[in-house]
Copies of this chain bind each other. A is one copy, B any other.
Amino acid sequence: MGRVVVDVMPKPEILDPQGKAVAGALPRLGFGQFTSVRQGKRFELEVDGPVTQEVLDAAAEAAATVLSNPVIEDVVRVADSEADAAGTIASQGLA
């Protein structure tokens, strides 16, 4: 069973009140190093069978037409969740 990850973020020119609220809260809670926060959405789509190029293409089309509002959001990635683990803290055994 494969899984495709789709990430959607608000466009840079769009106000992001949720991200702004988090950005305001972080310094008060001891995380002063983060200068800006944007909040978007992550979707995990499961398919029976492996994640083929056709599945990725279908996911990219679904991302552009169903999972995001192209007026205010950008699809920033469509990826097999296997590749997704690369470079994470978890994959380095730290969390």
Pair B33/A55 contact, Cβ less than 8 Å: yes
Among residues of B, the one whose C-beta sits closest to the C-beta of A80 is: B87
Q: Do A62 and B34 touch (CB < 8 A)?
A: yes
A41 within 8 A of B: yes
Q: Provide the residues of chain B in CB contact with A46, threshold 8 Å.
A: 34-37
How many copies of this chain does one complex carry?
A: 2
Which residues 73-91 of A sit at the B interface, judged by CB distance below 8 A? 75-80, 82-90
Chain B residues with CB under 8 A of A82: 87
Number of interface residues of A (CB under 8 A): 54
Chain B residues, CB < 8 A from A13: none
Closest to A49 in B: B33
Q: How far is the CA of A89 from the CA of B1 in the complex (A)?
A: 20
Q: Which residues of B contact A62 (CB under 8 A)?
A: 26, 29, 31, 34
- A residues near B (Cβ < 8 Å) are 4, 7-9, 19, 22, 25-26, 29, 31, 33-48, 55-62, 65-67, 75-80, 82-90, 94-95
